[in-house]
């Protein structure tokens, strides 16, 4: 459950599902324009924010998995929501694209937005997140900064993660609000 208690905004939350899909036949620019028009935003700004401004004429069906995620992040940013929720933004991506996606996540947080994400990319989460919540079967098992959680178990985050859990149904959720 997430609550926003800040100033009133047109759109409080932006959301990226784990597997974003877009209308077939649309280009990157048309897709960004569709979402931007819903909230009176600038599609060029959205594409620039995620580094897709050089591929605006590409059909969405021709995007790689990573570029599809970046376009999904762009749509999540439409309307300047103060809270952005990202579900597995780097799932299934190669290491270079995972790094690129997490760099975009950091830039979103650096702009003052709260970013809540779930991820199994523990090294990237450890480097990016300010606070972590370890969930197991829908229950909070541990919270704290990456340093605090490492200190509790004396190891890197992946060892901390496994030592805090009883089974493999756990998820690490990271949040950054720089």
Q: What is the pLDDT of residue 20?
A: 95
Tens of pLDDT along 22-69? 999 999 999 999 999 999 999 999 999 999 999 999 999 999 999 999
12 burial (CB, 10 Å; 0-12 / 13-18 / 19+) is middle
Higher pLDDT, 9 or 26: 26
With a cut of 80, say whether residue 72 has pLDDT above it. yes
CB of 157 within 8 A of CB of 122?
yes
CB of 60 within 8 A of CB of 31?
yes
- Which secondary structure element, helix H or strand E, spans residue 133, and what is its range? strand 131-136
């Amino acid at each position: 459950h997430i609550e926003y208690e800040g100033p009133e905004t047109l759109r409080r939350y932006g959301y990226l599902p784990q597997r974003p899909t877009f209308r077939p036949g649309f280009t990157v620019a048309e897709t960004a324009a569709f979402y931007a028009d819903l909230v009176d935003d600038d599609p060029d700004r959205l594409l620039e924010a995620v580094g897709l401004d050089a591929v605006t004429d590409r059909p969405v069906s021709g995007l790689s998995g990573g570029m599809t995620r970046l376009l999904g992040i762009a749509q999540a940013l439409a309307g300047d929501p103060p809270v952005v929720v990202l579900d597995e933004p780097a799932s299934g991506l190669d290491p270079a694209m995972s790094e690129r996606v997490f760099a975009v996540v950091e830039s979103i947080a650096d702009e003052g937005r709260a970013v809540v994400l779930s991820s199994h990319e523990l090294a990237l989460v450890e480097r990016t997140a300010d606070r972590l919540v370890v969930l197991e079967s829908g229950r909070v098992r541990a919270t704290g900064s990456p340093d605090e959680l490492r200190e509790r178990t004396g190891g890197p985050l992946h060892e901390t993660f496994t030592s805090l859990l009883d089974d493999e149904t756990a998820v690490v959720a990271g949040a950054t609000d720089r």
